[in-house]
């Protein structure tokens, strides 16, 4: 799936499925993930120590195998967003967005590149282009680029209606860990405030006909299913490190327990996008 197909599905209200890639994997991973049917992967650069060259190689490998490569940049930066698009990314995931101005800056950097300066400001803020031909040119120049905005704070939630009015936003992604921390209910994913906030985000996005999802780092698959059925279409489920850890725990540790009588030790719930998750909600997987 290319970025333009991903965006078409999101704007049509259809679900897309993908995972986070923290380690980026070995060279065989892109073909493998294409074969198992992932629509996209998002390549982590906020919490993972990767450089531009590694990101660029991974982008090309996944795109070449029909899996749309999205990149989460480490900060709200138009320059960083443009860098990953220049490398071939089919989308940019921007963390901890709180204002319309931040969104406009990213839209300009990735949707209207290479327009710059006063001409870019006019395009982003007022929808004015040098001429109709330039507008058409820019639309065809960036056909695969998706913009995924992360909402992770009370300020972001409060400003969400205005953020969704900015042309160029393709989906909203909830970061559950940071959302709970910023609301003063760290990792309390069954807290009424968390649930009310997520419900509000879903309702707001649906009212503006913008796709929405949540990064299901941990917790049971049934917990993810319940929320997905509530209205998520951008499905982001776990990641490479967590899938690997859970596979070891459920199968290799099972062999150890059966053969040596040694019970599985430790927990995989601390393995998430930045290794800080200690998930409590209905985790039976």
pLDDT band at 266 (very low <50, low <70, confident <90, very high): low
Residue 208's contacts (CB-CB under 8 Å, 6 or more residues apart) are 161, 164, 165
Strand segments, DSSP code E, in the chain are 16-21, 40-44, 68-72, 91-94, 146-151, 171-174, 211-216, 234-239
- Asked if the model's pLDDT at residue 54 lies above 80, the reply is yes
Model confidence over 203-256: pLDDT tens digits?
Answer: 999 999 999 999 998 788 999 999 999 999 999 999 888 888 888 888 888 898
Asked whether 174 and 201 are in contact (CB, 8 A), the reply is yes
Q: Give percent of the chain with pLDDT exceeding 90.
A: 76
pLDDT band at 267 (very low <50, low <70, confident <90, very high): low
Q: Which CATH architecture has domain 3-240?
A: Alpha-Beta Barrel (3.20)
Distance CA 109, CA 103 (A): 10
- CA-to-CA separations, 277 to 94, 128, 190, 209, in angstroms, rounded: 20, 45, 15, 31
Model confidence over 86-139: pLDDT tens digits?
Answer: 999 999 999 999 999 999 999 999 999 999 999 999 999 999 999 999 999 998
Residue 228's contacts (CB-CB under 8 Å, 6 or more residues apart) are 15, 235
Query: Do the strands 211-216 and 171-174 form a parallel or antiparallel pair, or are they unpaired?
Result: parallel
Judge if the upstream peptide bond of residue 109 is cis by omega within 30 degrees of 0: no
What is the reported pLDDT for 24?
A: 79
Identify the CA nearest to 111 among candidates 124, 130, 100, 121.
124
Poorest-pLDDT segment among 189-193, 231-235, 265-269: 265-269
Q: Which residues does residue 231 pair with via DSSP β-bridges, in sequence order?
A: none
CA neighbours within 13 Å on the CB side: how many for 196? 6
CB atoms within 10 A of CB 82: 18
Concatenate the DSSP letters of all residues of 125-136 into one string.
HH---SSHHHHH
What is the reported pLDDT for 272?
A: 44
Average model confidence (pLDDT) for the chain? 90
- Asked if the model's pLDDT at residue 284 lies above 60, the reply is no
- Residue labelled with tokens 């493998």: 32
What is the reported pLDDT for 278?
A: 46
Residue 80's contacts (CB-CB under 8 Å, 6 or more residues apart) are 73, 74
- Asked if the model's pLDDT at residue 264 lies above 60, the reply is yes
Asked whether 233 and 14 are in contact (CB, 8 A), the reply is yes
**219 φψ region: left (φ > 0), alpha (ψ -120 to 50), beta (else):** left
What is the reported pLDDT for 274?
A: 40
**Token couple for 205:** 């996005």
Concatenate the DSSP letters of all residues of 141-162 into one string.
HSTT-EEEEEE-SHHHHHTHHH
Distance CA 144, CA 151 (A): 23
Identify the CA nearest to 110 among candidates 152, 65, 71, 160.
71
Spans of all domains in the chain: 3-240
What is the reported pLDDT for 146?
A: 98
């Amino acid at each position: 799936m290319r970025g333009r197909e991903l965006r078409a599905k999101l704007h049509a209200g259809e679900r897309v499925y993908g995972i986070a890639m923290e380690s980026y994997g070995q060279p065989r991973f892109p073909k493998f993930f294409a074969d198992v049917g992932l629509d996209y992967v998002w390549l982590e650069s906020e919490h993972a120590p990767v450089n531009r060259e590694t990101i660029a190689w991974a982008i090309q490998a996944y795109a070449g195998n029909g899996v749309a490569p999205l990149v989460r940049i480490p900060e709200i930066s138009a320059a960083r967003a443009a860098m990953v698009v220049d490398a071939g990314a089919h989308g940019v995931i921007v963390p901890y967005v709180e204002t319309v101005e931040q969104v406009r800056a990213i839209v300009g950097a990735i949707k209207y590149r290479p327009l710059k300066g006063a001409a870019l400001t006019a395009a982003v803020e007022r929808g004015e282009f040098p001429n109709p031909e330039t507008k058409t040119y820019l639309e065809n120049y960036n056909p695969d680029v998706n913009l995924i905005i992360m909402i992770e704070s009370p300020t972001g939630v409060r400003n969400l209606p205005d953020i969704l009015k900015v042309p160029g936003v393709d989906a909203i992604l909830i970061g559950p860990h940071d959302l709970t921390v910023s609301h003063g209910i760290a990792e309390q994913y069954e807290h009424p405030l968390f649930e009310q906030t997520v419900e509000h985000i879903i309702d707001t996005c649906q009212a503006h006909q913008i796709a929405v999802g949540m990064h299901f780092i941990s917790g049971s698959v049934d917990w993810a299913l319940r929320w997905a059925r509530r209205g998520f279409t951008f499905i982001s489920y776990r990641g490479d490190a967590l899938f690997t850890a859970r596979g070891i725990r459920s199968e290799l540790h099972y062999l150890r327990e059966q053969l040596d009588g040694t019970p599985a030790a430790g927990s995989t719930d601390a393995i998430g996008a930045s290794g800080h998750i200690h998930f409590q909600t209905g985790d039976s997987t």
